[in-house]
Structures are given as C-alpha cells and as structure tokens.
Amino acid sequence: MIPISDSISTHRLPILNILLIAANIFVFIQQIITPNPDAFIYEYALVPANVDFSDFQTLLPFVTSMFLHGGLLHIGSNMLFLWVFGDNVEAHFGWLFFLPVYLTSGIIGGLAQYMFMPNSQIPMLGASGAVAGMLGAYFVLFPHAKVKTLVPFFGFASIVSIPATFMLGYWFVLQLISGAVSLPFSGEAGGVAFFAHIGGFLAGFLIARAFRPKTS
C-alpha cells in the first residue's frame, strides 16, 4: 500500500517537515557523488559492532545514520511517508517539539535494532525509524483520518480511501511478523531493519499518547 495523501489538512506550512525531507535528499546526493561512497557510509552509518556506550563519538551514528539511505527506492519511500504523515504531526507538536520527537523516535529505533544485532559489522542506515515514529504518533493523534492509498492488486492498481488506523496498524503488524521471521538471521545478512521500524513506531506512539489533548 502506497500512501498518496490524507484527509487531515494543515493550516500552516510544515516547515520542519519540509526541511527534514530536504536534508535527507541533500545528504543522499552527497552520499552518491562522494568519491568513496563506502567510506562515507561506514563513517556516518550505524555499525553495531563499533558502538561503545562509554565513547560518545561512537554514539553519533545513532543520529547521522538517519540521513543516509541505501538507494532511490529507500529514500523515496521514506520521504513519501514523511510527506504524507509528518505535516500533521508537526502541526500538533509545533516546531519546538516536532524535531525532538522525530530524532528521539529514530534513536530509539536504532537502539531497538542494535539490541538484536550488537555484534554486526553491517551498516544500518535510513530514516525509517524516525519516520515510523511519525506513523506511531499519527496513529494516536488522528484516529479518524483516512488515507488515499494506491493499492496493487494482481498486476493492477487502484486508489482507495483507507482508515489511517487500519493502514498504519496493518503496517505495524507486518513489521512485527517480519521482525519475528528475521530473528534467526539477525546479524548474518543485511536487509530491512524491522526492529528499527517497531522501536520507532512505539516511541512515536507513546510520546503522542503522553502529550495528546485530554478529552472529557
């Protein structure tokens, strides 16, 4: 399922969301034009085996790795989800708290993935954990929203309007199942960081639950 737009309109320009998308695109361009892309990735991506919690320098990739991506499809899908869901989350939290929520979700996502593969030499990279945090927050804050979605079906595709809670709930359950299936292979091969998605989503979900408006 590919989100196209949602039914919740914002009344102000989501400046931080746009700047985050621009920053990711800018870093991705630097990543592909640098003379030594592999060295660039190993310097800024999160390599679990290099993490030393007594050395602050080795912890910086928990942040810098969020702005690297493994290819056009990787960055394209992440930025599409951020574009569709991030503007509303920014409108709720405001510019002062939106960025900390985004970064916190990404860091917790990275920590969640690290826990399952602490000795891996494979670089972890991508904004997926942070973007998943936006999905988790959206799930809490906009339970009645609908998402215009492109749904492939036996070689064809149609655009349908799906409740956001169904779409995001389905996405989260899929991450849980995929993460459980990947457990026997943790640290042995590269691939999708499912536990970063799970950790990021739960971080955004819990933060939004803590700071959502109280209803009578």
Give pLDDT tens digits for 99-149: 999 999 999 999 999 998 888 888 999 999 999 999 999 999 999 999 998
**Bridging pattern class, strands 2-6 and 156-163:** unpaired
Q: 72-97: buried (b, 16+ CB within 10 Å) or exposed (e) per residue?
A: eebbebbbebbbbbbbbbbbbbeeee
Is-contact 175 191, C-beta < 8 A? no
Which of these, 211, 175, 169, lies nearest to 195 by C-alpha position? 175
**Cα gap 94→168, rounded to integer Å:** 22
User: Residue holding tokens 């906009």?
Assistant: 142
Round to whole Å and give the CA distance between 46 and 126.
10
Angle at 57 (CA atoms; ends 51, 60), nearest 5 degrees: 75
Mean of the per-residue pLDDT values of the chain: 90
CA dist 90 and 80 (Å) reads 15
Could you please report the per-residue DSSP string of 114-176? HHH-TT--SPB--SHHHHHHHHHHHHHH-TT-EEEEEEEETTEEEEEEEEHHHHHHHHHHHHH
Taking the CA atoms of the chain, what radius of gyration do you get in angstroms? 17
For residue range 41-79, list pLDDT tens digits in order: 999 999 999 999 999 999 999 999 999 999 999 999 999
Indicate whether this model's pTM tops 0.85: yes
Task: Give the residue extent of every domain in the chain.
Answer: 2-6+14-211
CA–CA separation, 79 vs 81, rounded Å? 5
Count how many Cα atoms sit within 13 Å of the Cα of residue 128 in the half-sphere of its side chain: 24
The yes/no answer on whether domain 2-6+14-211 falls in CATH 1.20.1540.10 is yes
